[in-house]
Amino acid sequence: MTPSNDRFRELRELLSSYEETGYVFDDTEKRRGVALSAYLRQAARDPARAAEAAAEIDDLIETGLFSDEIADDVDLLPHINPPRGETVENCLAVIGRHLRQFLAEPANPSQSPPCTAWEWRERFPGLQHLLAAYFHQDSSLEYSSYGEALDDYVSGASESDLRQLADEIREFLILNESDQLLKKSAVTLGLAILPPRGVRLRQWLTDVRGIALQGTAPRGGSGWGVQATRGGFGPS
């Protein structure tokens, strides 16, 4: 369970990026590695995240990685391995210096597609929640149709959630220009069940976006009158 004070919350998010790239610190003093680069592309949208992560690194190093004072907090952090001859503290210090350099020279948010699975999830949290929570491999055990799954999602979503989802789908479709890339990226976000038979994924997501923009829950899972809701779960 995450403690209420969550002393290293943002550092945990940063280190989670390294879980997708081999659980190894790959940064040097002169070069940011793949995981840190992915994190900073997302931090460019909210630089306060980088400032928080830098402060938490300073706190951890000053207190001591193996201090009893923070033992429970450190246990919550992903365990990332340092390169041969290095220590975790040294690797974190390198990351801290890159974070401060980033804050001193802010970058514009990237308009390019994400490069790692972690980055896809960070950039599209609303869409990731919808796909992973309502269209996972066992969805057919919970819902009888696509419409019923969407009904359940919309009925529990706030208007701000729905607006965010609509915005994310729009950007997601733009970034994934080909249907092949679109499918790969959707699977990365958690989609395990393809759209209803005869409906392309791009059209299905467009319909879901339209449903989100309506901002009201359907009745009976079929009241939208769009292809996103038609058909029961099964092979496509």
Residues 208 and 144 in one domain: yes
Residues 84 and 137 in one domain: no
172 occurs within a structural domain: yes
The pLDDT confidence band at residue 234, using thresholds 50, 70 and 90, is low
Residues 73 and 167 in one domain: no
Overall average pLDDT of the 151-168 stretch: 96
Question: What is the average pLDDT value for the chain, to the nearest integer?
Answer: 91
- Last residue of one domain, picked from the residues 42, 69, 104: 104
Overall average pLDDT of the 141-163 stretch: 94
pLDDT at residue 104 above 90? yes
pLDDT the model gives residue 233:
63
Overall average pLDDT of the 36-60 stretch: 98
| Structural domain for 71, as ranges | 9-104
- Last residue of one domain, picked from the residues 71, 104, 137: 104
Residues 130 and 186 in one domain: yes
Residues 148 and 216 in one domain: yes
Joined together, the tokens standing for residue 9 give 């919350």
Q: What are phi and psi of 145, to 5 degrees?
A: -155, 165
pLDDT the model gives residue 228:
64
| Residue 63 one-letter amino acid | T
- Based on the structure, what is the number of domains in the chain? 2
d(CA 210, CA 223): 13
Does residue 216 contact residue 208 with C-beta atoms inside 8 Å?
no
The pLDDT confidence band at residue 223, using thresholds 50, 70 and 90, is very low
**pTM of this structure:** 0.88
Which segment, 2-6, 165-169, 215-219, is predicted with the most confidence on average? Answer: 165-169
116 occurs within a structural domain: no
